[in-house]
Amino acid sequence: MSENGLFQRAKNAAGRYKVAQTNEQDLLTNLDRELDQYSNITTTPTPTTPTNPPKEGEGPNGKPLVTTVTTTDHETIKAEDKLGNPVTVPGTFKVVEGETVEDGIVIEDADKNQFVWIPVSNINGNNDGKGTGLITKKDGSKVEITLGRYEFNAENGKEELKQSGANRSVKGKSINTNFIESTNTEEPRTNGGVGAKSLEGFVTSVGNNNGYYLARYEASFGSGSVPADGYGFFDTAKTSIMTNQKPEVKPTKKGNDDTLNANDSATSIAEGKLWRYITEEDSSIVCKNMYSSGNESSYVESDLVNSYAWDTAIVYIQKMGHSNYANANGSTKSSVLNTGATGDEKCHIFDMAGNLLEWTTEYSDALAR
């Protein structure tokens, strides 16, 4: 057998096999190195830019963010909270508390009177776009708040709409045989008392502004100290001014005497001296007078609360998470306290359920005043 014979061909084949093994090993080694390189790479998701993100100072819908409305500019501002719920801030007022309508948006005038925004979805119960639509809460859920007069279940507080604001022109304007809401010019009282300044104007304003404001505190007439246990409910014999002592006579007027001046007005301030023993007629006067003159008169009107405003505020409080507030009883003390001192606060509104009974413009032909 020669070099060109069988042995030589066998040697050549063996050599080629070794070269192939070497090449294969080199290929596997290089592949391992590349895999090791990729295994050390960390991947980072490409950040996505939200479509039309809110600009600084703006809410989700491009309106001014209500928390930035802190100056007393002489213009009414259509703002929104950080969830996109509309909030109208009247000229000369500033926002002092609250980030969302669920918290309770508080505005304040130059004299420290404070009011809380009551958001309204619609004035007719149809949610058809005439109001703001559904109210968004912080957990993402949505609720509807219709301006109206309600009855509340005596056990669980569940509200039942009896008359929407848009339906207020129904003859008699009553939700049952007893309780009637009207203005004196529309339907004069048969038993005295006072009506709302203008129910039609109020309902229209609520529809245009997507809500209204309710005084944060009960009506008062200035600030001052009170006894630690408050003013007794039935004290009837002391001086006409609420000072550090329990009053000796029922104070019925503002100021140092028993004369209600034409321009006297109520206040809605913290730690205010509670205005008690006041007639419905006088309470209507001092509420209407709050913004009858001055810079604010160009932007707001004030009045004794009507039944639409009162009932809808209770619905608002309950739908913001304070269930059965309609049946709450805040009068757990044997005395009354200064405004804001009872601890009954829901959505930044004080004493809807306690301290004193309060006048509204709703009246009853069947019940004595």
Into how many domains does the chain fold? 2
* 87 and 193 both lie in a single domain: yes
Q: Are residues 17 and 135 in the same domain?
A: no
CB atoms within 10 A of CB 243: 13
Banded pLDDT at 232 (limits 50, 70, 90): very low
For the chain, give me the number of helices (H) and strands (E)? 4, 18
Q: Is residue 266 included in any domain, yes or no? A: yes
- What does the pLDDT read at residue 308? 93
Evaluate whether residue 268 is within a structural domain.
yes
Mean pLDDT of 296-302: 88
pLDDT value of position 253: 42
pTM of this structure? 0.75
> Crossing angle of helices 199-209/307-319, nearest 10°?
30
Residues 113 and 206 occupy one common structural domain: yes
Residue span of the structural domain in which 17 resides = 1-43
Note whether residue 53 is domain-resident: no
Inside any domain, residue 333: yes
Are 193 and 276 members of one domain? yes
pLDDT digits (tens, 9 = 90+) for 314-325: 999 999 999 999
Residue 368 and residue 339 in one domain? yes
Q: Assess whether 114 and 222 both reside in one domain.
A: yes
- What integer is the mean pLDDT of 256-267? 67
Does some domain include residue 55?
no
Q: Indicate whether 31 belongs to any domain.
A: yes
In a shared domain, residues 66 and 38: no
34 and 156 co-located in one domain: no
> Could you tell me if 124 and 142 are in contact, meaning their C-beta atoms sit under 8 angstroms apart?
no
State whether 231 and 330 are in the same domain: yes
Pick from 320, 325, 359: which is nearest to 138 by CA? 320
Tell whether 32 and 144 lie within a shared domain. Answer: no
12 occurs within a structural domain: yes
| Nearest partner of 96 among 104, 107, 87, 111, judged by Cα | 107
pLDDT value at residue 346: 94
| Model confidence at 248: pLDDT above 70 | no
Nearest to 353 by CA among 337, 362, 342, 367: 342
- Pick the range with the lowest mean pLDDT from 37-41, 79-83, 324-328: 37-41
**In terms of domains, do 17 and 128 share one?**
no
Task: Compute how many other C-beta atoms are within 10 angstroms of the C-beta atom of residue 351.
Answer: 24
Cβ-proximal residues to 32 (8 Å cutoff; 6+ apart), any chain = none
Q: Hey, how many other C-beta atoms are within 10 angstroms of the C-beta on 35?
A: 10
Q: Are residues 193 and 340 located together in one domain of the fold?
A: yes
Which of 125-129, 170-174, 236-240, 350-354 shows the highest mean pLDDT? Answer: 350-354
Q: Could you tell me if residue 49 is inside a domain?
A: no
pLDDT, residue 106, reads 97
CB of 207 closer than 8 Å to CB of 167: no
Out of 50-64, 108-122, 353-367, least confident range: 353-367
1: confidence class by pLDDT, cuts 50, 70, 90: very low
